[in-house]
Structure 1
Amino acid sequence: MVESAKRSLDYCKQNFGPYPHRHFRILEFPRYEKFALATPGTIPYSENIGFIARVRPDDPEDLDYPYFVTAHEVAHQWWAYQVAGGHAQGMTMLTESLAEYTALMVMEKRYGPQAMKRFLAHELRDYLTGRAAEPKAELPLALNELQMYIHYHKGSLVFYALREYIGEDRVNAALAAFRDEFAYKPPPLPTSRDLVARLREVTPPEYAYLIEDMFETITLYDNKVLEATSEPLADGKHRVRFKVAARKLKADGLGVETEAPLADYIDVGVFAAPGPGDYEVGATLWQERRKFTAGEMELDVVVDGPPHRVGIDARNLLIDRNPKDNTAAL
């Protein structure tokens, strides 16, 4: 928890702006409740999600949640207590989603991208579970109305994916500019539209569609591997042939879906067998981001080592209700 606090403070200061206090402290309270809460300079923190937590690094399904929760609450020293959104649709995207993104960046630098794939698999599951149980209507991320499965779980997925597509420097530059414009300012307070506009400014033209898909609509994918074969070649190389399919859908608040035209960039790759600490797939032997304009694509590549699996969007950057068929064993 101490390490996470230090690294989170450093990350936020370097990327978003100065820390406004002379102290930072974590306050333990008994496990009558199970949460942590950010206040200016201080985090009240339940003992059972931090102080007496037992994280099992040898368990592939376990997560270092004290590290993540601490980073999330540190991030609120910027996203809530420097920039506060107006009481409007999407308000919590400016606090909770940005705190989730910040915590993901800090955690990735500590544990690496394989740990993030495991964490984001949990986030995807919780988002899909939440939308299935929605009692009224699901809203896009930028218009959500205090819907936790959207601003926490979908927010994590969306901001991490945007970072992967356009780069951490661009995302953080937009967030820093947003903070500089609105920190400690009197009303009118910013809304999610102000942040979306900043993100749109830094997004390259080929990825402009992502802003609408991720923030302004409910966009789903059905990506899968259809078939895959490999054969050994000389010098330890292998030839891999595989076919993948991609499908894009738009949903309304009640879950009614319509097919959307494809003009999307999606990662395809070949992966080695997973090693210790890997999640589902091992090291990347070959990966490219291809533009899909038709439903299916055939690929034929030569890799240097023995392949184990192939995949389309193997890291599950896009919201797919059946992520397990995104990869297939050879």
Structure 2
Amino acid sequence: FGGFAHPGVISMVEDRLYLKNVSHPETFNLVAKRTIHEVAHQYWGHTLTAKPVAGASLFVEGFAKYTEAVVMEKLFGKSAIYELNENARSRYFSGRSFANTIEPPVYKVSGQGYISYGKMLTTLLALRDLIGEEKLNQVIKTITDRHRNSNKLEANTIEFLNEVYKVTAQEHHVLVDDWFKRVITYDLSLDKGSYRPLENGTYEVSVIVKAKRFQTLDTGEIKQIPINEPIKMGVFNTHQSKIKDDTALLYYQSHTINKEETEIKLIVNQVPKYISIDPFGTRSDENVVDNTFRF
């Protein structure tokens, strides 16, 4: 517990905020993270209050975690996104392993903190990668403006998804449904990474991407399902957990992954040190150690 947002006022606990030493530039700034999150609740939970039904926490904790991540990224770089998603991933998989009820999809969450504080963040950041930050912000603004001055609690996840569909290419509607309406997990990894210098001074990077996707059914059974979606690939001159600005990004683009095993070749202008599939953790992948290959 780090704080609580009242209308117009935020309360923060002393030992997990004011007494934190974040003076070292390499220290993850928990003071900023927790302050941003509680201020965000002035909008998500107060300005916009959802209908008290399954999925309502998307508009409270989901949007607050998303706001927290976007602002932290702008202040401290992509290393902040890496740290936040690592925490969200750990919380999600730890929570689901101890859950005594069948896991609901994101749009029907009802009290499952491991989803509200975990998977919701990675799902919203995956959606941002898919449609762009501007379009996702517009969706959130549209819903907020619609309910801003209403005394009725009507905002719901079906309304949210209908707005998302309007700004998402038709070919990706099924993927949006997978993320929000189904329980999907991934197993991504890289193998046989290499690079070679080219005559023009650039470098050709090659790697084998291995990708599996799984759906957890209402019965609790987990089955493998096909994969066909754009996923970010990154080549860096430092590990993604240390990236503060874009100078470390030698390559960062989406690739359509539609097979269990795919060879990818790409060109960079500097000697690469790391290559990674989903480097900032937008997919629910329990083991991310093998997502990154060090040359």
Task: Normalising by structure 1, report the TM-score.
Answer: 0.82
Q: Counterpart of 2:204 in 1: which secondary structure?
A: strand
Q: Does 1:57 align with 2:24?
A: yes
Aligned twin of 2:255: 290
Q: Give structure 2 stretches of 5+ with no counterpart.
A: none
CA contact (8 A) 1:225 1:326 kept: yes
Please state how far the C-alpha of 1:172 moved relative to its aligned partner: 0.8
SS at match of 2:18: coil
Asked if 2 retains the 8 angstrom alpha-carbon contact of 1:178 and 1:195, the reply is: yes
Contact 1:123 1:153 in 2 (8 A): yes
Q: How does 1:245-324 map to 2 (within 5 A)?
A: 245-252=210-217, 255-274=220-239, 277-278=242-243, 283-324=248-289
Further displaced range: 293-302 or 171-180: 293-302
Q: How does 1:155-234 map to 2 (within 5 A)?
A: 155-187=120-152, 189-234=154-199
Question: Unaligned 5+ residue runs, structure 1?
Answer: 1-33
1:36 paired with 2:3, answer: yes
Determine the C-alpha separation between the residues in 1 that align with 2:49 and 2:25: 40
CA deviation string 1:37-80 (max 9, x = no partner): 11110012111122112236355xx5212211111111111111
Q: Secondary structure at the match of 1:50?
A: helix
Q: Percent identity?
A: 26
- Partner in structure 2 of residue 85 of structure 1: 50
| Aligned length in residues | 294
- Per the TM alignment, residue 218 of structure 1 is displaced from its structure 2 partner at its CA by 0.9
Instruction: Note the C-alpha offset of 1:179.
Output: 0.7
Partners of 1:305 and 1:255 lie apart in 2 by: 47
2:204 aligned partner, one-letter code? R
Mapped pair 1:98 → 2:48: no
Paired amino acid for 2:231: I
Q: Verify: 1:141 aligned to 2:106, yes or no.
A: yes
Instruction: Give SS of 2:4's match.
Output: coil
Matched residue of 1:120: which SS?
helix
Q: Does structure 2 retain, via aligned residues, the 8 Å contact 1:63–1:119? A: no
2:12 is aligned with what amino acid?
Y
TM-score by length of 2: 0.91
Secondary structure of the corresponding residue to residue 103 of structure 1: helix
Q: Which runs of 4+ in 1 moved over 4 A?
A: none
**3-state SS of paired residue (1:161):** helix
Q: Which residue of 1 aligns with 2:205?
A: 240
Deviations 1:197-239 (A, max 9, x none): 2222222234323321221111111111121122233354322
Q: Which amino acid aligns with 2:276?
A: G
Deviation digits for residues 258-304 of structure 1 (CA, Å, limit 9, x no counterpart): 1212221122233223499439xx92222332222221111223322
Larger radius of gyration: 1
Which residue identity does 1:94 align to in structure 2?
A: F
Whether the aligned pair in 1 keeps the contact of 2:50 and 2:153 (CA below 8 Å) is no
Letter matched to residue 168 of structure 1: E
Distance in 1 separating the partners of 2:64 and 2:46:
12
In structure 1, what is the Cα distance between the partners aligned to 2:223 and 2:50? 32
Amino acid at match of 2:272: P
Q: Which moved more, 1:290-299 or 1:171-180?
A: 290-299
Matched, 1:128 2:81: no
Measure the CA separation in 2 of the matches of 1:131 and 1:212: 20
Contact 1:83 1:184 in 2 (8 A): no
Amino acid at match of 2:146: E
